Structure formats: structure tokens, C-alpha cells
Amino acid sequence: DAKTTQPPSMDCAEGRAANLPCNHSTISGNEYVYWYRQIHSQGPQYIIHGLKNNETNEMASLIITEDRKSSTLILPHATLRDTAVYYCIVRFYTGTASKLTFGTGTRLQVTL
């Protein structure tokens, strides 16, 4: 799997949009970008994934650059409950290489 680079930590004021960047410059054409988050002492929670197009669901939006070398996860209105470690992972969609390999992630702190 391609490696990803994320800032170790970020702060965001409650109610504001949280924009979490991720670099994946060695991503291959068959790899998807996945985002998970882990709230303290819990298992990771799936957020969103995408291949080329921007994606949006009830939790977040995923913006992938045209060259696919980077992406941004957007939490449109961050709340205190969004405080967590956010992991950006690139992964093959199928086959034996489709396991998720976690990096160090970004620790997002949402403050009042």
C-alpha cells in the first residue's frame, strides 16, 4: 500500500469546518483513499472513501486532487465529539492486498 503523510495534530473551533489534509504521492491507479477515525479507547470508525471523484456522506466530505496525490477530509461543522485521531489510508479495493495499514494519523482537537 502507498504510504500517507498527515500532520500529527490539528485544532479546530467547535462549529467551524475541520479540514484534514493527507498526502499520498505514490498512490497507484487501483488504490482508493479511505478515512477512519478513532476516538479514545474505541475501535476505528469508518468515515468515507473515494477513488477519483469527490465524495460526500452524512459524516464528511472527501476532496481528492485531480492528480490523486493528496486529499482533504472535511468535517463541515466540527463538534467536541469529533475529537479523535483521523487516519488516511490508501488501499486496494479487492484482493489479498486490500488490508488496511494504519499510519500515525492526525490528532484533531475540537475546542469550545
Residue numbers of the site for other proteins (CB under 8 A)? 36, 38, 41-46, 49, 87, 93-94, 96, 98-105
> Considering beta carbons, is residue 40 or 67 the nearer one to other proteins?
40
CB of 30 to other proteins, least distance (A): 12
CB of 56 to other proteins, least distance (A): 16
Q: Which of 84, 30, 43 is nearest to 60 (CA)?
A: 84
Query: Cα–Cα distance between 79 and 58 in angstroms, integer?
Result: 14
Q: Which is nearer to other proteins, 43 or 112 (CB)?
A: 43
Cβ-Cβ contacts under 8 Å for 64 (sequence gap 6 or more): 33, 50, 51, 52, 53, 54, 70, 71
**Smallest distance, Å, CB 74 to other proteins?**
19
At closest approach, how far in Å is the CB of 60 from other proteins? Answer: 13
Q: Which is nearer to other proteins, 18 or 48 (CB)?
A: 48
Helix, strand, coil proportions of the chain in percent (round to 5)? 5, 45, 50
Choose between 53 and 66: whose C-beta lies nearer to other proteins. 53
